[in-house]
Structure 1
Amino acid sequence: MTHPDIFWFLPSSGDTRYLGTNDYGRTPTIPYLQEIAVRADRLGYDGLLIPTAAQCLDPWVVASSLIGITRNIKVLVALRTAIMTAPASARQAATLDQALEGRLLLNVVVGGDAAELAADGVHHGHDNRYAAADEFLTVWRRVLSGEEVSHDGRFTRVTQARNVHAPVQRPHPPLYFGGSSPAAHDLAAKHVDAYLTWGEPPEAVERKIGDVRARAEAEGRTVRFGIRFHAIVRETEAEAWAAADRLIAQVSDDDIARAMAAFSKMDSEGQRRMTALHGGRRDRLEIAPNIWAGVGLVRGGAGTALVGDPHTVRKRMQDYQDLGIDTFVLSGYPHLEEAQRFAELMFPLLGKAQVTETGTSRTGGANDGRR
């Protein structure tokens, strides 16, 4: 069994034990996010995903707050092609990669909620956003490779753009990206290093991987693959499903109706696919063995979870690895405690060091992520 990379998630829009309308929540303060990051780093997670949205703290500032307090973990930061300029973004990336000593990864974000994009001054339609991202990434990659770039395109116009201070990782920090439309698959094939899919059933993921791989081969390139899931792992199957039920115990029908109305206004193909998995119905949440869509009843974006005991969840993860997945980007509510729980229960099955409840090696000594 090969050992995948395991990333965790920083909840920069807030954290909770219960989805939906409730009185419980944790404010996304920098100290709290730092606590999660330090815990994940010490436990031996391979990376951290820092999300982006109007309700999130700025991902670049959050990433900068981790420079002096993390040692090994990689940091996956949003690269917003629609609201940044390519040369300025290239300088930011080179600088942050230096500060993190070569631990920066970049998550290319092209779209999202149309209303949110409009609020940020972005009014391109779906396919035009991808055409603009193509130009952006063409310039961005060339600038970071050391070229002086002049480009006169539909969406990007720069004259003699260059980056003086190179990143640690050459020619640039790795690019990750997720998108389900044909335009998104074309962009992935042409530009990115790793394609991320949200957690759909294996047969759907297999089709997406096959399509992206074929398009990349036509470009003379290869692409790695990862998947984004929540994780609800407990010592027994019954405990895991009870925890899943508890997570949405306070979700009301009105909560679901509001979320479904909001999702219907988005032009994201990925969000459409996530919503179609459950259709807003509580009786359609196990969409494949041990794959649960309950999070997606009220949460946009990644809406599915791996649910079960450790050995069962490991088997489900292997199902995706067999399709070509080598990276799992995971999360759990609340993220601090669930990072610890997942490591305790799953790391021994994933080829990582075993940890105790205090994050120390079972053979003695701190498990600070050195492998």
Structure 2
Amino acid sequence: MTLTFHWFLPTYGDSRQVVGGGHGTPAGAAGGDRPATLGYLTQIARAAEDLGFVGALTPTGAWCEDAWLTTAMLAQTTERLKFLVAFRPGSVSPTLGAQMAATFQRHSGGRLLLNVVTGGESHEQRAYGDFLDKDARYARTGEFLHIVRELWAGRTVDLTGEHLRVEGARLSRVPDPVPEVYFGGSSPAAGEVAARYSDVYLTWGEPPAAVAEKIGWIRALADKEGRRVRFGIRLHVIARDTAAQAWAEAERLLAGFDPAAVAAVQAGLARSESEGQRRMLALHGGSTADLEISPNLWAGIGLVRGGAGTALVGSHTEVADRIAEYHALGIDEFVLSGHPHVEEAYWFGEGVLPVLRSRGLWTHPLDATPGARDTAPAEIPFAGRP
């Protein structure tokens, strides 16, 4: 199996610095020198599409634009790129969620991937009218996904669950293809839901040994359910022609961190209910010392934003080596981002992807379609002619 790469749409704004935001961040906390206009997000999406990324993750939360509406608009400005839409099950009824996904598939030509986010912060959930505690939210997510998958299969659903109830639920038109479900979470409750309902289990970027442990955990749970789950990882990336150039860029980003902002962000994230966020914080402990927590794995991003807080940093070959290392553990999909997102997409797409192609680990999505990509060099008129 060749590797699949997805990029990221910063629907909260972008910058040459690391923009705050992410998991557990309050509304208004994000921003940047480049507003998240449709025009700018289209630039990122088209770059990712041309470079060979399969999809683009779009976040959810009070700190960013709505993922459903934004990607529905961007689907009209792109041709092939899929949209990994982050979606919280507690926001709408399962029947409406299943219908929304089916409609998106029809109008986009089958370009929806669904990233189900249970919601790790009770204070943020309450702002949306959701007053369940964390374990109850995971139980509700399981009921939600059960109903949605039954509807997508064309069945009529009657269910009275602990948290959800539907009667005579049915879709007039099922999605084709059925969207793949991406799901993450590090708590026991998250693992149970992932094993039963996810197609791809996503982990935030941790050192290889920790990632291997997570993969083994989810595989064992999925085996009990008689299911097979694929695995993906969410990382930032800083790839350059040389390792020295890449680490100089990491140091430049680090130098732009305001110590007061770091302290405020870390204090806020320390109150997080998310087990995944706790694991991210443990990688750096709020300190700027020893941020290379594993070869080419840098924990600096997590000092100023929540959620995925690590980056692969190094030469194109070194980053390719680390990707191959994660792949050997069982990771087949990589959800990447960089600051700013247009430029870093090109650094990775033109630097790292050719290395992986040369090793037989990646092919451009268009390579499977004869004539889809004309890579022959242009001929200069009259050049070399007498």
- TM-score, normalization by structure 1: 0.93
CA contact (8 A) 1:16 1:24 kept: yes
Which residue in the other structure is 1:357 paired with? none
Which residue in the other structure is 1:287 paired with? 293
Residues 161 and 23 of structure 1, relative CA distance in 2, 3 Å threshold: closer
How many angstroms apart in 2 are the aligned matches of 1:361 and 1:250? 42
Does structure 1 residue 110 correspond to structure 2 residue 118? Answer: yes
Does structure 1 residue 138 correspond to structure 2 residue 149? Answer: no
CA contact (8 A) 1:94 1:167 kept: yes
The one-letter code of the counterpart of 2:83 is: V
The one-letter code of the counterpart of 2:265 is: A
CA contact (8 A) 2:19 2:31 kept: no
How many angstroms apart in 1 are the aligned matches of 2:11 and 2:180? 22
Which residue in the other structure is 2:208 paired with? 202
How many angstroms apart in 2 are the aligned matches of 1:23 and 1:304? 20
CA contact (8 A) 2:118 2:137 kept: yes
How many percent identity over aligned positions? 48
How many angstroms apart in 2 are the aligned matches of 1:114 and 1:331? 27
How many angstroms apart in 2 are the aligned matches of 1:200 and 1:49? 19
In the TM superposition, residue 23 of structure 1 has moved relative to its aligned partner by 9.9
Does structure 1 residue 175 correspond to structure 2 residue 175? Answer: no
How many angstroms apart in 1 are the aligned matches of 2:60 and 2:19? 20
Which residue in the other structure is 1:55 paired with? 63
Which residue in the other structure is 1:6 paired with? 5
Residues 108 and 23 of structure 1, relative CA distance in 2, 3 Å threshold: closer
Flag structure 1 segments of 5+ consecutive residues without an equivalent: 355-359, 366-371
CA contact (8 A) 1:6 1:47 kept: yes
How many angstroms apart in 1 are the aligned matches of 2:54 and 2:174? 24
CA contact (8 A) 2:186 2:275 kept: yes
Residues 327 and 23 of structure 1, relative CA distance in 2, 3 Å threshold: closer
In the TM superposition, residue 187 of structure 1 has moved relative to its aligned partner by 0.5
CA contact (8 A) 2:158 2:166 kept: yes
User: Number of matched residues?
Assistant: 357
How many angstroms apart in 2 are the aligned matches of 1:200 and 1:52? 22
Which residue in the other structure is 2:23 paired with? none
Which residue in the other structure is 1:96 paired with? 104
Residues 97 and 284 of structure 1, relative CA distance in 2, 3 Å threshold: same
Residues 23 and 116 of structure 1, relative CA distance in 2, 3 Å threshold: closer
Query: 1:1-371 residue pairs with structure 2 within 5 A?
Result: 3-19=2-18, 25-169=33-177, 172-351=178-357, 352=363, 363-364=376-377
In the TM superposition, residue 284 of structure 1 has moved relative to its aligned partner by 2.7
How many angstroms apart in 2 are the aligned matches of 1:177 and 1:263? 21
- TM-score, normalization by structure 2: 0.89
CA contact (8 A) 2:13 2:19 kept: no
How many angstroms apart in 2 are the aligned matches of 1:97 and 1:186? 27
Superposed CA offset, 1:297-346 (max 9, x none): 01100000000001111111111000100001000000011111211101
In the TM superposition, residue 210 of structure 1 has moved relative to its aligned partner by 0.1
How many angstroms apart in 2 are the aligned matches of 1:331 and 1:19? 11
How many angstroms apart in 2 are the aligned matches of 1:9 and 1:236? 24
How many angstroms apart in 1 are the aligned matches of 2:354 and 2:140? 44
Superposed CA offset, 1:234-257 (max 9, x none): 000000001011112121221111
Residues 140 and 24 of structure 1, relative CA distance in 2, 3 Å threshold: closer
In the TM superposition, residue 278 of structure 1 has moved relative to its aligned partner by 0.2
CA contact (8 A) 1:20 1:255 kept: no
331-340 or 106-115: which moved more? 106-115
How many angstroms apart in 1 are the aligned matches of 2:195 and 2:176? 24
Higher radius of gyration, 1 or 2: 2
The one-letter code of the counterpart of 2:122 is: A
CA contact (8 A) 2:298 2:311 kept: yes
CA contact (8 A) 1:34 1:65 kept: no
Flag structure 2 segments of 5+ consecutive residues without an equivalent: 21-29, 358-362, 366-372, 379-386
Residues 363 and 248 of structure 1, relative CA distance in 2, 3 Å threshold: farther
In the TM superposition, residue 135 of structure 1 has moved relative to its aligned partner by 0.7
Superposed CA offset, 1:191-220 (max 9, x none): 010000000000000000000000000000
What's the Cα RMSD here? 1.8
110-119 or 296-305: which moved more? 110-119
In the TM superposition, residue 361 of structure 1 has moved relative to its aligned partner by 7.0
Residues 320 and 361 of structure 1, relative CA distance in 2, 3 Å threshold: farther
Q: Which runs of 4+ in 1 moved over 4 A?
A: 20-24
How many angstroms apart in 1 are the aligned matches of 2:364 and 2:180? 26
In the TM superposition, residue 3 of structure 1 has moved relative to its aligned partner by 3.0
How many angstroms apart in 2 are the aligned matches of 1:325 and 1:353? 18
